[in-house]
Amino acid sequence: MKKVLVTGGLVFIGSHTVDRLIEDEYQVTVLDNLEGQVHLGNVPEYRNKRQNTFSVT
Please give the pLDDT value at position 19.
85
- pLDDT, tens digit, for every residue of 13-29? 888 898 899 889 898 88
Q: Do the bridges between strand 54-56 and strand 3-7 make them parallel or antiparallel, or are there none, so unpaired?
A: unpaired
Across the strands, what pairs with 7?
Answer: 31
Instruction: Enumerate residues 6+ apart whose C-beta is below 8 A from 24.
Output: none
pTM passes above 0.75: no
- pLDDT, tens digit, for every residue of 31-53? 888 777 776 665 656 656 655 56
Please give the pLDDT value at position 3.
92
What is the Cα–Cα distance from 54 to 46, expressed in whole angstroms? 6
